[in-house]
Amino acid sequence: MTTNRRRAATIPDVAREAGVSRSTASRALADYGSVSPDARERVRAAAEKLGYRANQLARSMITGRTHTLGVVIADIQNPFFAGVTRGITDAAHTAGYQVLLANTDEDLGAERAAVKTLCDKHVDGLVVAPASTTEVGHLAALVEGVCPVVLLDRHAPSLPTDAVTVDNQGASADAVRRLIAAGHRRIALVTLVGSEPDGGADGGAEHGAGARTGEAASGPFPISTGVERVAGYRAALRAAGIEDTDAYLRVGTFHRQDPAVLTEELLSLPEPPTAVFATDSMIALGVLSAVNARGLRVPEDISVVAFDDAEWTRVVRPRLSVVAQPVQELGAEAVRALLTRIERGARPPRHITLDTTFITRDSVAPPR
Amino acid sequence: MTTNRRRAATIPDVAREAGVSRSTASRALADYGSVSPDARERVRAAAEKLGYRANQLARSMITGRTHTLGVVIADIQNPFFAGVTRGITDAAHTAGYQVLLANTDEDLGAERAAVKTLCDKHVDGLVVAPASTTEVGHLAALVEGVCPVVLLDRHAPSLPTDAVTVDNQGASADAVRRLIAAGHRRIALVTLVGSEPDGGADGGAEHGAGARTGEAASGPFPISTGVERVAGYRAALRAAGIEDTDAYLRVGTFHRQDPAVLTEELLSLPEPPTAVFATDSMIALGVLSAVNARGLRVPEDISVVAFDDAEWTRVVRPRLSVVAQPVQELGAEAVRALLTRIERGARPPRHITLDTTFITRDSVAPPR
């Protein structure tokens, strides 16, 4: 039953008419995913009755929209981004949009090329996890132009658009406080930062090794996520009366330094750390690899915590205590913010911050 | 120094003139990735001197090429596909091509929509890991048309194009023979197959549980990779005189059945298996999860082997013995095959088969 014949039919109208959920209706209309033949037929009939498809096509032609979103992720091999991408894709499909992905492997040059390619292909908007949160000129040009951009996992204060992240500083401080509460004082942080293009980041490697200088937190190529996790780490240490916050801070550079080697250096110190905090699950694999190579037991000899609830962290023995990020929700929020910008045009930038959850498992014990 | 001014300059010409490698020259010309400022300037000067850029642009306009490849992967959350994608992207960038990815999550409807979107965006060709190796009509239309397609990880005999895979049957048989050599007779295989769209695969779930019928190997929705791994498993068992090859075969359906539950069922049998073979690293996580939940030790109580050398398999204790696939090389070979089709047009289909390596670690011991 149509309720109002004067306005253009919407997906909710079609769903109501067909007696199916909005999600089913949009999947059927977008010809995507699992819809029963019966539901598909009812949606088709409802769309025809309400003139939905004709309206949608007409709107496409008027607006020039392609109903395609571009997504630029930083590292497809990191389970965090795989999960986020899943959230993005599900949310986009539900809204009737297709997703095209590009992977930059944390390389700014690759990011610039990927953004250009996706724009050339006339995507309606971009979700970007930028390789740098300061070198964003190529994105600024888009934000002010025809292609809305929403940042994901990382925010760039100089870029007047939305960003969807977790509270990285708070989550990091919370994890460190838990280690302090367990009795630890010598707590290491192992993290990676972006590298300058054109090989200019050999100095970055020095920064990484020289984390004690205090400049390394931002690295040669700052990414807000890493900067904030280091800030949270330092803040929690200072609050516990630990003055030399950088004694066990190791900031490496993506592709140039191996977290296992950084950890091995830490374990070789005269007074090695009794706990190690890894800023993502891939770094945690490097940390565990170095810990295993030394024959150390977790948590008896050394405690280990990490960002990201990768599936393997629940299967290794001992199971890893982690900072879980709401990966699917981060992706879905980014899509919602982007669609709002696409459909309603420019509006003041919003920084959407989602909560993390610390999951206590078996990898933390008091120091020996 | 130009050697021949009559023909159009090529990347090797520019590289020679600039005194850099072909790879560096193509990265500089494509404005992608790490190139030193000095090399970039020399390549620019060489390209200008040889008229390379003008030629390339002219060729682009004549051929209508966009220098973009579309890649349709089956599951971005599977480390195998993340690694393959890395190989694809590196090879494409080296050749001066950008890559646009789509993830189907093993859903045939999503694959059809993704292929359509990428074709609408005028990619020059597609690398596809198809969700089904029989339902390939949407790809057949392309193969015969303007958009070359190369299959990856999976091959479809009915599709007259190239496929790049490993020898799945041989690799699977080899892994099972190693378990037999260690003394095992009750060897389980846990695998997943594709599902029919529109919820039609409820019968598939039954097939999975009823693997003993012998029809389950192909499942409701065959994927060549899984079919061949099951065939290799059965062949190795039969060669060892084990007649009932399906007693411990469990074929589940993607998204509908949890490998941990399938494993739990196996462990509950009156005579449970003494070894379990998982057909990918994500299934292996489910197997280990069920093994851990029972309090069983690997390899003392049960041996475990898996396809795919995921990074975590080297870090868990015990380290997992695996069938390692050459993931980067699979991706690079697929790109090479696709570029040959793009540049030289139709030619007879080739099935390129790469070797796997069995990596012996610590997860196999004789049965108790």
Q: How confident is the model at residue A175 (pLDDT cuts 50, 70, 90)?
A: very high
3-state secondary structure of A36: coil
Amino acid B10: pLDDT? 74
Would you give the DSSP letter of residue A268? T
pLDDT reading at A129 higher than 90 = yes
Q: How confident is the model at residue A85 (pLDDT cuts 50, 70, 90)?
A: very high
All residues of chain B having their beta carbon less than 8 Å from the beta carbon of residue A101 are 76, 100-103
In order of A283, A297, A356, A360, B286, the CA distances from A320 in angstroms are 13, 13, 16, 8, 16
Task: Provide the percentage of residues in chain B whose pLDDT is more than 70.
Answer: 85
Amino acid A218: pLDDT? 39
| Inter-chain touch A315–B289, beta carbons under 8 Å | yes
- pLDDT (mean) for A124-131: 96
Which of A199-208, A253-262, A320-329, B321-330 shows the lowest mean pLDDT across its residues?
A199-208
pLDDT reading at A261 higher than 90 = yes
The CATH number given to A68-165+327-353 is 3.40.50.2300
Residue whose C-alpha is closest to residue A209's, from A228, A190, A226: A190
Higher pLDDT, B104 or A145: B104
In the sheet where A357-359 sits, what is the strand order?
Answer: A249-253, A187-193, A275-278, A303-307, A321-324, A357-359
| Inter-chain touch A76–B86, beta carbons under 8 Å | yes
d(CA B75, CA A48): 34
Amino acid B164: pLDDT? 98
Q: Nearest Cβ partner of A98 from B83, B117, B282?
A: B117
Q: What is the pLDDT of residues A230-248, one digit of tens each?
A: 999 999 999 999 999 999 9
E strand or H helix at B186 = none
Amino acid A219: pLDDT? 43
Mean pLDDT of chain A: 87
Q: Calculate helix-pair angle for A79-94, A281-293, nearest 10 degrees.
A: 160
- pLDDT (mean) for A67-94: 95
How many Å lie between the alpha carbon of A241 and the closest alpha carbon of chain B?
34
- Is some CB atom of chain A closer than 8 A to the CB atom of B344? no
d(CA B104, CA B255): 12
Q: What is the pLDDT of residues B16-43, one digit of tens each?
A: 889 888 778 877 876 666 788 888 888 8
Would you say B297 and B363 are in contact if contact means Cβ atoms under 8 Å apart? Answer: no
In terms of DSSP bridges, do strands A321-324 and A357-359 run parallel, antiparallel, or are they unpaired? antiparallel
d(CA B119, CA B145): 11
Complex ipTM value? 0.78
Mean pLDDT of chain B: 87
The DSSP-derived string for B193-239 is E---TTTTTHHHHHHHHTGGGS-TTT-SS--HHHHHHHHHHHHHHHH
Amino acid B339: pLDDT? 95
Which of A193-207, A288-302, B110-124, B221-235 shows the lowest mean pLDDT across its residues?
A193-207
- pLDDT (mean) for B186-213: 57
Rounded to 5 degrees, what are φ and ψ at A75? -160, 100
Residue whose C-alpha is closest to residue A365's, from A322, A309, A321, A323: A321
Task: Determine whether B367 is exposed, middle or buried from the number of CB atoms within 10 Å of its CB (0-12, 13-18, 19+).
Answer: middle
Closest chain A CA to residue B298: A317
d(CA A106, CA B48): 30
Higher pLDDT, B64 or A196: B64
Q: What is the pLDDT of residues B272-289, one digit of tens each?
A: 999 999 999 999 999 999
- Is some CB atom of chain B closer than 8 A to the CB atom of A315? yes
Q: B168-326: what CATH class?
A: alpha beta
Q: Where in chain A is the domain with CATH 3.40.50.2300?
A: 68-165+327-353, 168-326
Amino acid A52: pLDDT? 67
| Pairs from A265-273 (Cβ < 8 Å, separation ≥ 24) | A266/A188, A266/A190, A267/A291, A267/A294, A267/A296, A267/A302, A271/A186, A272/A186, A273/A186, A273/A187, A273/A188, A273/A248, A273/A302
Amino acid B215: pLDDT? 38
Would you say B228 and B168 are in contact if contact means Cβ atoms under 8 Å apart? Answer: yes
- Scanning B160-189 for CB atoms below 8 A from A yields none
Amino acid B273: pLDDT? 98
- pLDDT (mean) for A152-176: 97
- Is some CB atom of chain B closer than 8 A to the CB atom of A317? yes
Higher pLDDT, A260 or B39: A260
3-state secondary structure of A236: helix
Amino acid B33: pLDDT? 64
- Taking CA A193 as the corner, what is the angle to CA A190 and CA A195, rounded to the nearest 5 degrees? 140
Q: How confident is the model at residue B45 (pLDDT cuts 50, 70, 90)?
A: confident
Amino acid B1: pLDDT? 37
Tokens standing for A75? 């590292």
Which of A36-40, A202-206, B130-134, B296-300 shows the lowest mean pLDDT across its residues?
A202-206
Q: What is the pLDDT of residues B244-253, one digit of tens each?
A: 999 999 999 8
Question: HSE on the CB side for A274, CA within 13 Å?
Answer: 13
Amino acid B41: pLDDT? 86
pLDDT reading at B265 higher than 50 = yes
Give me the helices (H) in chain B, please: 11-18, 22-29, 37-50, 52-63, 79-94, 108-120, 137-143, 168-181, 202-209, 224-239, 259-267, 281-293, 327-344
Sequence letter at residue B240 = A
pLDDT reading at A314 higher than 80 = yes
- Is some CB atom of chain B closer than 8 A to the CB atom of A358? no
Give me the helices (H) in A159-306, please: 168-181, 202-209, 224-239, 259-267, 281-293
Chain A to chain B, count of Cβ pairs less than 8 Å apart? 140
- Is some CB atom of chain A closer than 8 A to the CB atom of B110? yes
All residues of chain B having their beta carbon less than 8 Å from the beta carbon of residue A35 are 198
pLDDT reading at A61 higher than 70 = no
Amino acid A32: pLDDT? 60
Rounded to 5 degrees, what are φ and ψ at B64? 75, 15
Would you say B192 and B223 are in contact if contact means Cβ atoms under 8 Å apart? Answer: no
A78-90: b (≥16 Cβ within 10 Å) or e: bbbbbbbbbbbbb
Q: What is the pLDDT of residues B326-351, one digit of tens each?
A: 999 999 999 999 999 998 888 899 99
Would you say A108 and A197 are in contact if contact means Cβ atoms under 8 Å apart? Answer: yes
pLDDT reading at A6 higher than 50 = no
Residue whose C-alpha is closest to residue B50's, from B84, B97, B4, B82: B4
Higher pLDDT, A19 or B2: A19
3-state secondary structure of A83: helix
Q: How confident is the model at residue B216 (pLDDT cuts 50, 70, 90)?
A: very low
**Under 8 Å CB-to-CB from B219, ≥6 apart: which residues?**
B193, B194, B204, B207, B208, B226, B227, B251, B253
Q: Where in chain A is the domain with CATH 1.10.260.40?
A: 11-63
Q: How confident is the model at residue A338 (pLDDT cuts 50, 70, 90)?
A: very high
pLDDT reading at B53 higher than 50 = no
CATH entry, B11-63, from 1.10.260.40, 1.10.3720.10, 3.40.605.10, 3.90.1150.10: 1.10.260.40
pLDDT reading at A211 higher than 80 = no
d(CA B150, CA B153): 10
Task: Determine whether A331 is exposed, middle or buried from the number of CB atoms within 10 Å of its CB (0-12, 13-18, 19+).
Answer: buried
E strand or H helix at A348 = none
